[in-house]
Structure 1
Amino acid sequence: MAQVITVGTWRQRDTTMGPVLAALDRLRQCDRRGAVRTSFVTLLAVGGQSVEVDEVFDTVHRLGPLQPTRVIVVRVLAGDEHRLDARVGVHLQSRGNQCLGIDDIALEVAGPVTSHLDSLVEPLTLPDLPVVVWCRERLPPARSRLIDVADHLVVDTVAAGGRSRLPAVARLHQRTPVIDFAWLRLLPLRRRLATALTRTEHRALVDEPADVVVAGPEVERALLAGWLQVRLPGWSVGEADGDRAELSVSVGGSTQQLQVETGASAATESLLARALLHLRPDPVFADALRAAADSTGAGTAR
């Protein structure tokens, strides 16, 4: 990772957005080398009291060429009393013969201001750059105005409450494009499965409908089963009981069996990098999410 050099920092408790914006502008004027932007996106990370602000900044700073131009972390605290504490940092990162600018803004909020986070963060977004809202824990409420600020939502359904939240993710996806870490974790297994099924020795499995059993963590398992239902019409796709650490797919035809597994899950840093690389419509994920949400809703109804 290229070294990050801090140009300057500012912090203030019980403030308003006016001083925050003024401090950001003043710090950016301190060193004009940071005028070159790092990427064409603003990242807004939102979470509760358990979110470690510096951990988020460190994760994002390790993204290299995918490092967002501006990173805003909003930490929503419990309590009815108004609170707005802010911290601003402007940094430089050398990359080749360029010196790239990085803006970090951290806001800790509580009380009435939490009901209109959109108006709080919108002045911090950069004109003409897409805004990616990274929901670190819970999903935003369906009617949250914060979603109106977002061009893309990044979520982790596992951290947001598990499989029961898949229908809520599907509803959010109808409003704003969603990228789910749970789906990104499936990429290695999907690639292995596709490669295995193209081999000559497994041709019989492709030529006739077969039984497919998906095992693994419940959220990823549901999404993978949803994907297989869409991609393999006429096949019987089921889920194994239990919550195994590793994902696997077993395909059984009349003449042979095939099992594909994937190992340890990717780290948050690599998942976020992958998400920022895929800021475009993903109809395959949309279909898999819809099928997984439908099966989850049907299971809940039963």
Structure 2
Amino acid sequence: MTTAEEQTSVVPRDGGVNLGRTSTHRIETTLRSLREQRGEVSTGRVLTLIVSVRSEEDLESVVHGANEASREHPARVIVVVHDRTTDEVYLDAELYVGGDAGAAEIILMRLHGELADHADSVVTPLLLPDTPVVVWWPFTSPRNPAGDSLGALASRRITDSFSDAAAGKGTKAIFRRRIGYAPGDSDLVWSRITPWRGLLASALDQRADDTVTSVEITGPSEDPAVDIAAGWLATRLEVPVTRYAGEAVDIPVDGEGIPTAPVERVVLHLEGGDLVMEVIDHRSVRIVDGDTDNLVTLQRRTLGECLAEELRHLEPDAAFGDALHGLPRVTVARAGVTGRDNSVKESGR
């Protein structure tokens, strides 16, 4: 039961409740009180999503992405901010239920001092009973997510190689994911290319009687989504795959300056003639198959869309694991080589 002294220290802010210095017991009792006030029930939550960030990282984008994903997957979202800039040991928290929190309960906790190294002990009392637990590291992730103390609580562990500062970001990060991979691991670069994979698979279905002999794939040199796409093709098709660097270093943009899909161009060499898929702008790609020339919708996915897809499938993603294992089979073209096939006419920009 919450004491009168505790009740007077609860200060609403921006639609939430700022508890200040607090404890996990008080967080739980305040959440229960907030649900009763708003007529909310925790039984509608389908999972617990733990988000692990450092104090200097972009908290606003993380909360926005988790909130967006929770509209499809009602969840208790526990955002753990590890603050190692002080020696003082304490916990402070903010709570959000309903309203701007979408279909989620959001617990924003800052762990200060040595407490930042014991996040698993802090979050365990707040996990929803009898529901899956997912851990997401939006920026800095452990070398071995399954062996991490927070990762050990979860059946699904999500990283983002594109933003992983600890691994140097980009291609270095996705190769580190391969080394530390365990079933249940996934990465947002994989869900960023899901629509692209679907379009390519559909186009190949039209050539089911033909044989792919080799593949060329082009995209930003430091975007691991291009690397994992190449690894996927190498594994699924079992043919030589060459990865080329596009003009952009990390995020390609169209003529309007709007970001486009990560994979800018792919050429599948088949015995019966090439199949080419190339980004036109932020809305569409062009698929050239012999005399057939089609424009198809394809947009760069938002953070919330990628996270929502990861939460849609909580079982181990074998296809992602296979794509990781396909990375060493990809040939990376030397600098200055474009991979542009001059036999295919240029698309209009």
TM-score range, shorter chain: 0.7 to 0.9
Alignment-mate amino acid for residue 187 of structure 1: T
CA contact (8 A) 1:43 1:71 kept: yes
Q: Offset of 1:75 from its aligned partner?
A: 1.3
Matched with 2:181 is: 173
Matched with 1:132 is: 134
Inter-CA distance 62–164: structure 2 relative to 1 (3 Å threshold) = closer
Aligned length: 279
Matched with 2:3 is: none
Matches within 5 A, 1:146-185: 146-160=150-164, 161-174=169-182, 177-185=184-192
Q: Aligned with 1:240: secondary structure? A: strand
Matched with 1:3 is: none
Among candidates 292, 295, 313, match of residue 278 of structure 1: 313
Q: Offset of 1:51 from its aligned partner?
A: 4.0
Among candidates 222, 237, 244, match of residue 240 of structure 1: 244
Matched with 1:259 is: 276
How big is each residue's C-alpha offset from its partner over 1:251-279, in whole Å with a ceiling of 9 and x where there is no partner?
Answer: 12355222113554201111111111121
Measure the CA separation in 2 of the matches of 1:117 and 1:64: 22
CA contact (8 A) 2:216 2:243 kept: yes
Is 1:37–2:43 an aligned residue pair? Answer: yes
Q: Aligned with 1:140: secondary structure? A: coil
Measure the CA separation in 1 of the matches of 2:240 and 2:75: 46
Measure the CA separation in 1 of the matches of 2:134 and 2:247: 31
Among candidates 185, 209, 214, match of residue 211 of structure 1: 214
Measure the CA separation in 1 of the matches of 2:219 and 2:52: 28
Q: Equivalent pairs: percent with the same residue?
A: 27
Matches within 5 A, 1:62-77: 62-63=68-69, 65-77=71-83
How big is each residue's C-alpha offset from its partner over 1:63-118, in whole Å with a ceiling of 9 and x where there is no partner?
Answer: 4652433111111223241242211233369xxxxxx9742211112321121111
Measure the CA separation in 2 of the matches of 1:58 and 1:220: 22
Normalised by the length of structure 2, the TM-score is 0.71
CA contact (8 A) 2:91 2:110 kept: yes
Measure the CA separation in 1 of the matches of 2:103 and 2:188: 27
Structure 1: unaligned runs, 5 residues or longer: 1-5, 94-99
Measure the CA separation in 2 of the matches of 1:209 and 1:101: 45
Q: Aligned with 1:207: secondary structure? A: coil
Measure the CA separation in 2 of the matches of 1:231 and 1:225: 10
Q: Aligned with 1:37: secondary structure? A: helix
Q: Aligned with 1:212: secondary structure? A: strand
Alignment-mate amino acid for residue 324 of structure 2: L
Structure 2: unaligned runs, 5 residues or longer: 1-13, 253-261, 283-298, 334-349
Measure the CA separation in 2 of the matches of 1:182 and 1:106: 25
Measure the CA separation in 2 of the matches of 1:8 and 1:158: 31
Q: Aligned with 1:34: secondary structure? A: coil
Q: Aligned with 2:17: secondary structure? A: strand
State the superposition RMSD in angstroms: 2.9
Matched with 2:107 is: 105
Greater fraction of residues in helix: 1
Normalised by the length of structure 1, the TM-score is 0.81
How big is each residue's C-alpha offset from its partner over 1:146-205, in whole Å with a ceiling of 9 and x where there is no partner?
Answer: 11111211221111122112233234431x512211111111221121122222xx46xx
Q: Aligned with 2:268: secondary structure? A: strand
Alignment-mate amino acid for residue 122 of structure 1: T
Inter-CA distance 256–141: structure 2 relative to 1 (3 Å threshold) = closer
Q: Offset of 1:57 from its aligned partner?
A: 3.7
Alignment-mate amino acid for residue 30 of structure 1: Q
